[in-house]
Structure 1
């Protein structure tokens, strides 16, 4: 039995919650302010994709015998998440001229939805 399975399942549920809340936000923005849709999509993706990669790297290894690998993998995942987030923001602002408030707002919604999902899932277990 893989010790990281519970963490992987929890991470998947959090990512699903992020995707659902981001899609709802995108649909709302598409109806109310369609000109901000691209910025909202980029903002949501700026959190979801790096965070998903971080979750993958974080739960690659588990167990006391692999403690050094767990720490290294977590560290590498965190560095990748930070670098990818910076790349997403730099691209959105410099190449696509995305509106800052909708982009950052969608980023925050994706981040907070993940926190709320983890809190809710912890309450359910």
Structure 2
């Protein structure tokens, strides 16, 4: 990756993912300490439903760089967004059907982890 702007964006995405992973560990630990192993598993599932699609989108978003590849960049972003949505839906179905996880804990962990990523993007993106 030779483009400085793309490198800066990728570094920002990595910081966001790291912050999201740390938040997921904290939420899962709190759920486990407060209500036991099943709650921790449900919270971990919700956190992973937030993290894994974000990783997929990031991979698609930074696959191409540069103004000469503008068409490929736009197409890759579009594919990444579609894959992120599809993967999120599939993971929710797996969590509810296959894991017999608690819906409230899944959604709470998903929302907290997703919000932490958004807040990290806002925080780190506003710094120069």
TM-score range, shorter chain: over 0.9
Question: Equivalent residue for 1:101?
Answer: 104
Q: CA deviation at 1:122?
A: 2.5
Q: What is the RMSD of the two structures over their aligned residues, measured on CA atoms?
A: 1.0
Normalising by structure 2, what TM-score? Answer: 0.93
- 2:58 aligned partner: 55
Counterpart in 1 of 2:94?
91
Consecutive unaligned residues in structure 2, runs of 5 or more: none
TM-score normalised according to structure 1 size: 0.95
- Who is 1:17 aligned against? 19
> Number of paired residues?
125
Distance, in Å, in 1 between the alignment partners of 2:88 and 2:45 is 11
Structure 1's consecutive aligned runs of 4 or more residues displaced over 4 angstroms after TM superposition are: none
What does residue 73 of structure 2 align with?
70
